[in-house]
Chain A
Amino acid sequence: MTEESSTSQLSVPEPLVFDQALWRRRSIKDIFARYLVGAGGIAVIGSIILIFLFLFMVVFPLFKGAAMYEVTNYSLKKVAADETLLYSIEEQAEIAMRLNNKGVVSFFNVDSGELIESKELVANNDVHISSWAHLDAEKNIVALGLNTGQVLIFKHEYASNYKDDKRTIVPTISFPLGEEPIDLEIGEQALTSLAISENEDGLTLFVHTESGARLVNFEKASSFLDEDEATLELTSQVQLPYVDTPIKALISPERDWLYLLNKEGALAYYDIRSKDEPIHIEDVSVLDEGSMPTTLEFLIGGISLLLADDLGNIHQLFLVRGEDGTRHLTSIRKFKSGSAKISSITTEQLRKGFLVTDTDGNISIFHTTADRHVITKNIIDKPLAHLGIAPRSNKIIAEDVSGQVHVWGLDSEHPEASMKSIWGKVWYESYPEPDYIWQSSSASSDFEPKFSLTPLTFGTFKAAFYAMLFAMPLAICGAIFTAYFMAPKMRGVVKPSIEIMAALPTVILGFLAGLWLAPYIELNLPGVFTVLLLVPLGIFVASYFWWRLPEFVTSQITDGWQAALLLPVVLFFAWASLALSPWLEQVLFDGNMRLWLTDTMGVGYDQRNALIIGITMGFAVIPIIFSISEDAVFSVPKHLSSGSLALGATPWQTLMRVVLPSASPGIFSATMIGLGRAVGETMIVLMATGNTPVMDFSIFEGMRTLSANVAVELPESEVDSTHFRVLFLASLVLFIFTFFFNTIAEVVRQRLREKYSSL
């Protein structure tokens, strides 16, 4: 702009009257607009950053450690020689139960120690408790072995009453097998060890006396009229060849395995599925040299055993099915709380965690699946002896040797999450070996959740890999041809029509893939592979014929229309391959390629598999890669290629040696963006795979991806549960993956732009 000339044209200006008020209004408006735009702009950009922060905030508690804090401590009123056997806390963590060796059950307020009710179960002074056993907290059943050779079984229950919006909890004691102790008909000898297990079919006891060990079985005899009136009848008593007095005996909840731990640390286990003929399988010793066993407990669910010793180690064991079908007790993990002797183990009631007390006065909390030492807290400088935990794992009650009771609060929301349980191989209960498994929920409450994101991440990359395998050659080759060889007129039609593919909703692609393509490919499997082979071959042959054609024919058509000439060729060869499909199937695969794959090759075939995903998601990714690569090739400065051609290079040489090297960062960036899209695509994989989280790279198997998993499970997951947060973690992972790929692409692209502008 030339300022002088424009001013010279102006006529004599009228004197400007400077309107102060107007000017002020205008500047106020200007400042106002500045702040408005500033605030708005920063708010929008801030809210975008908020996405990342929010995801992170939700995920963060997963990896936050646990916290324990002291609530109160008090001493309970006791009589001489009154020794605690068991503490238990009810659901609301208001009332605790204590059982002592005199057979007195007392209920008291957890926070104040105030006695609410107490009941003497054994009235006779000559009778005392010689052994006891309890069932996991949900059942609240306790069995007491008496010195008279009898067993007394009771159940403690808690009823909530609401009156004037105030809740009162009333504890009650009931006797499912009658208030009188059951006589086991073994004479008056003290029961030195006892184990109990009960399910809907009946009840099994293990008792040990001086005269030996025996298994006592009761079956439920249900009344015809009323299911609830079922009575238990003693059906069998079998002597077991076991001499030692076990320090602990346990029977699995389904009443099919019996475990006996002796003083030397040998763990004997019996198959008691046949109640009349218990089979001794073997004795295992897993303890370290020089350590002595202290106690044995079931983890919730009754599959895993926890064996503690006097050096602070806890071993987790469970039965693993070997290749021959027999089960062997195998040591799975080892936890270490410290070096002091472990005095008791208490298991959490809603998840696979457990707590131990030791003689240094520490409480340590572990989680088995996550292989995680959650927290260790010193309670007091005296040995701790007994421990109880509330079902919701929010309150702990512990008693030290001096009889002082300590009440502690516990904040441990997500002990089941650890880097190992989310990304590593975990040996889950009842599995033959450590594995990567995603299985987030099940109907039963003692289910071990399997939160491994590895198979989902694997599935995500498998889907992306096959999609890129399909998309990259088509998109990049297509882009090169369109940008470099194609006649401009044709380019004007082809480019937008491929770009419009990008706008096609993926839900439509997914639907076509699942309901049309998948069954079609299943029927014409050989044809699909023939297409891959025949179509390139056809193009090659066509190009040869064109090359051999005399000049006067080829010169009729200007260069750059090859793509249009190939239209009938591609259509014909594709049609031919698909038409050949049944014959090929007949000749090569006995008429059914699917069966042939499974039977002869041993490859499983899912109807909705990675091949379908590769084609469909590839289809979704092609326009993105195509569009960006085309731009990259097209914007290579013309003087570079002209120079090369002028020096006598063929167009192909120019492309390979001059154009592509300059455009390759752009093509790389296009690939990265395409990959980012393939990784995050949800609807196609949701609809066109079986969504099974398997770790199999086979093209004929399906997969489950991070994104589809989130879409399926998030609406049903409980807010703020571990599952919920792990799903957020999955989306955070997706976010990071795609952000990573896109940033690389963007940086490369910007560099390229700068380079071109300098050329």
Chain B
Amino acid sequence: MPNNKTHKDPFYKSGTPWIWLNAGAVTISVIMVVGLLALIAVRGLGHFWPKTVYEIEYLNNDETVQVIGERVETEEVLKQRILESGIKVESDDELIKRSLIKVGNRDSLGVDFMLTVTPNEQKVTKPEDVLVLERTQWGNFYGFLKEIKSDNKVLSLYEDIKWQDLDERLNRVAELRERIEHIEKVEIGRINYQIEKLRLKQRGLEKDGVTNQEVFKPIEKARSEFNADYEVLKSELNSLYKEMSRDSITATIMGGKEVEVKLADIVKAYRPNTMNLLDKIFFYAKTFWGFITDDPREANTEGGIFPAIFGTVLTVLLMSVVVMPFGVIAAIYLREYAKQGFLTRLVRISVNNLAGVPSIVYGVFGLGFFVYIIGGTIDELFYSEALPSPTFGSGGLLWASLTLALLTVPVVIVATEEGLSRIPRAIREGSLALGATKAETLWRTILPMASPAIMTGLILSIARAAGEVAPLMLVGVVKLAPSLPLDGNAPFIHLERKFMHLGFHIYDVGFQSPNVEAARPLVYATALILVLVIVILNLAAIYTRNHLREKYKDLEQN
């Protein structure tokens, strides 16, 4: 727009300040978007970087104590506020730096975090050999390795091979743990699944009034076989657990207390202060990979988020399978078959509006209609032997996907209709004039041309569905699902199972977990993964839309 600014106009009258204020609104919006994404990225990615561990001689109420930990955050606070909170501090500055130190060792210290004020930090060092342990419970450990024990005997090792020996022993434990997990999850899981199936079969027969004990014999036999298998696995498990608890270490933590840590409890051990940049990058990649491929631990506050990623992707996939054909058919009906008049206009407005109906309303509908009415009926008809415990009569993968499909079907309809309306009339008429039937015209000409628009609609709906949490809270998402909805037991996909979800994971860990402070970095990382998934999907949608426009342009020119 040409801006014929003339300096003859008085500043105010020319409207210049208003234009600039409008420009400011854009600037602020952009800053907020970029700032938000940067905040998530920095906090989410920073979580996996091995941080320097400090040893601080800290003056705590006239008493010098040793503090070992990572500096999480530093902020500037008024001196008065610090004094008000009952901390003695001597400084001439009005503003004082306060740091949040992650000291870990929740089992020994009771807390994960400590606040320090900089003037009271008398001496800060970065000890070379400080050891950080990620444990299966009680969070992180910070301390100095003292000795390694095997079968309760202290090994006398030279300093230089101590660390190597520890690594070897940890690798052994990791292998054992993998084997145990395999047995517990896959093999015992399979047996439990079969036994439960037998139980239901028996109950179904009893319900049908079968009293002939002969009928139950094969069930009993199969059950005892499974139980025998189970016993074998159990004894193997026991010996593996015994093997695993062979080694331990003793170490001193802050304050000089000596503690013993079983190697079986250690997930990862590292010495961040000895790492060089390459080590750190390698460690970072490994931790990040672990984060997206591992199961959560300690009430979701530690470990990975694999089941949540898996649940999110599977729900969205199932949703796409449902939403795509139905959305497209509805759009074709509206645009190509239905008589265009007041009624279709009304329907079109309603469909448009439904895209703006709050998602929670769909969740309410899903719970009331899918879960209680349809699911309840299915249970009564086909799974009556399992009642009163519901099979399809409580939230699950299928109902969540259907709810999401209903939520996103307007998006697909609108996008497809737009695609259909962009196709010039001449193409339809040409096809019909050549003798093709309406169905052939649609199938061979119109749909291929509209396919990019359909894809855009689908991707937009996937992006929306992946970020929805509120409706899922009502129809089947849980904080911790015992098993994935996809496994090796026939029929392989278990549509009635409850599942985990990235978005709900964020809500749950960030707001419902007992130790929010410790879990916070993990939530940032989870949020980052979710944002990445959604941004990628959206960029794909934008790219497809541009592609469609290019194609449309070509057509017009011909």
Contacts and interface: CB of A to CB of B under 8 A. Distances in A.
Contacts of A583: 94
A645 B535 CA distance: 40
B4 A563 contact: no
Which of B409, B466, B507, B523 has the most C-beta atoms of chain A within 10 angstroms of its own C-beta? B507
B348 to A, nearest CB: 9
Interface in B1-56: 1-5, 7, 9, 11, 14-34, 36, 39-40
Nearest to A41: B333
Contacts of B534: 503-505
Interface stretch (A23-31, A319-327, A344-352): A23-31
A127 interface: no
A694 interface: no
Contact of A494 (B26, B406, B510): B26
Contact of A507 (B11, B21, B356, B503): B503
Interface string A591-612: 1100000000000000000000
A614 interface: no
A562 B360 contact: no
Interface residues of A, number: 124
A707 B360 contact: yes
B11 A544 contact: yes
Interface string A724-747: 000110010011001101110011
A516 interface: yes
Given A500-B538, A504-B531, A508-B506, A619 B32 contact: yes
Given A484-B1, A503-B535, A543-B16, A29 B469 contact: no
A560 interface: yes
Q: What band does the interface of chain B fall in when counting residues whose beta carbon is under 8 Å from A?
A: 35 or more
Interface stretch (B76-84, B144-152, B204-212, B480-488): B76-84
Interface string A651-662: 111011000000
B337 A38 contact: yes
Contacts of B232: none
A731 B20 contact: no
B161 interface: no
B329 A26 contact: no
Interface stretch (B63-71, B110-118, B194-202, B436-444): B436-444
A715 B438 CA distance: 48
B368 A54 contact: yes
Given A512-B39, A566-B23, A651-B4, A544 B470 contact: no
A586 interface: yes
Interface in A30-60: 30, 32-34, 36-38, 40-45, 47-51, 54-55, 58
Given A505-B467, A592-B81, A747-B349, A44 B30 contact: no
Interface in A617-631: 619, 622, 626
Contact of B337 (A37, A496, A560, A651): A37
B125 to A, nearest CB: 30
A40 B329 contact: yes
Q: SS class of chain B's interface: helix, strand, loop or mixed?
A: helix
A417 interface: no
A480 B25 CA distance: 10
A734 B360 contact: yes
A364 B327 CA distance: 53
A646 B27 CA distance: 30
A528 interface: no
Given A497-B30, A503-B467, A687-B511, A645 B2 contact: yes
B354 interface: yes
Contacts of A504: 36, 467, 531, 534
Interface in A537-590: 539-540, 542-544, 546-547, 551, 559-560, 562-567, 569-571, 574, 582-583, 585-586
B350 A478 contact: no
B27 A566 contact: yes
Contacts of B291: none
A52 to B, nearest CB: 9
A449 interface: no
Given A738-B356, A747-B349, A715 B361 contact: no
A232 interface: no
A225 B528 CA distance: 61
B426 interface: yes
Which of B22, B33, B351 has the most C-beta atoms of chain A within 10 angstroms of its own C-beta? B22
A49 B507 CA distance: 31
Interface of A: 1, 26-27, 29-30, 32-34, 36-38, 40-45, 47-51, 54-55, 58, 473-478, 480-482, 484-486, 494, 496-498, 500-501, 503-508, 510-512, 514-516, 523, 535-536, 539-540, 542-544, 546-547, 551, 559-560, 562-567, 569-571, 574, 582-583, 585-586, 591-592, 619, 622, 626, 641, 645, 650-653, 655-656, 673, 676-677, 679-683, 686-687, 707, 710-711, 714-715, 719, 727-728, 731, 734-735, 738-739, 741-743, 746-747, 750
26 contacts: A26-B440, A33-B443, A58-B368, A485-B19, A496-B542, A503-B538, A504-B467, A505-B467, A507-B507, A523-B77, A536-B24, A542-B20, A547-B5, A547-B7, A547-B16, A559-B2, A582-B94, A651-B1, A680-B356, A680-B360, A683-B469, A683-B470, A686-B470, A686-B507, A711-B474, A728-B368
